[in-house]
Amino acid sequence: MAPRALVPALFVAVLLLMAACGGGDGGAKGVPEVDSITSALQSRDIPALKNLIGYRQMACVNATVDTRDAPQCRPSEEGGTLVDVVSMKQCHDSFLRPTDIQNALEHLLNGKPTVYATFKAPKTWESGEYGIVLSSAEQGRPVASELVVLHGKISVIDYGCGEAPEEKVSGIDKNLFIQRPGEPSETPKGT
């Protein structure tokens, strides 16, 4: 091959390699554990998000016990039965079972959220490796929700308690951001 033909061939090879590796996809800048989730959020792909839920097994407790620290047993379950759950927060802690996830994800996506920021978890977090803060319009103003990511799976769905996206990330060190928050958020378009 002549040297002149070699340069265009190398250029095409580099472009093909970038496409195959997902370069330039606008995700979380090459963090696969976050990119897969933000991609599913952006495309509103509930089946993909369901596959990205990181359930853990916990012993359920009877209704007479405070159920913020453990899932409540269902009528067919005895106290102490191991059940699959994912943590959910909405002003307080609770748990979702696999049968609850479809509705929970539909609720999350109803506000047509946009990814506001992504970041590595601060060392002060008890669990989680990454955080994904979303912004959606509720009551005519931006409202934040957050997904905590552990081992590439969603380990916490946090609907928040009415905070603005800026409030949700206010304590995060700027060096931890993968996708930095923009200027003060605006009401997302198309809602």
Is the pLDDT at 34 greater than 90? The verdict is: yes
Provide the pLDDT confidence category of residue 63 given band limits of 50, 70 and 90.
Answer: confident
Fold of 29-53+100-179: Nuclear Transport Factor 2; Chain: A, (3.10.450)
Pairing mode, if any, of strands 153-158 and 82-89? parallel
Is the pLDDT at 184 greater than 50? The verdict is: no
pLDDT per position as a tens digit, 142-173: 999 999 999 999 999 999 999 999 999 999 99
**Opening angle at CA 87, ends 85 and 93, nearest 5:** 125
Contact (Cβ atoms closer than 8 angstroms) between residue 81 and residue 73:
yes
Q: How far apart are the C-alpha atoms of 166 and 170, rounded to whole Å?
A: 6
Percent of the chain with pLDDT over 90: 65
**Domain residue spans in the chain?**
29-53+100-179, 56-98
DSSP H helices, the chain, are: 3-21, 32-42, 46-51, 101-110, 165-169
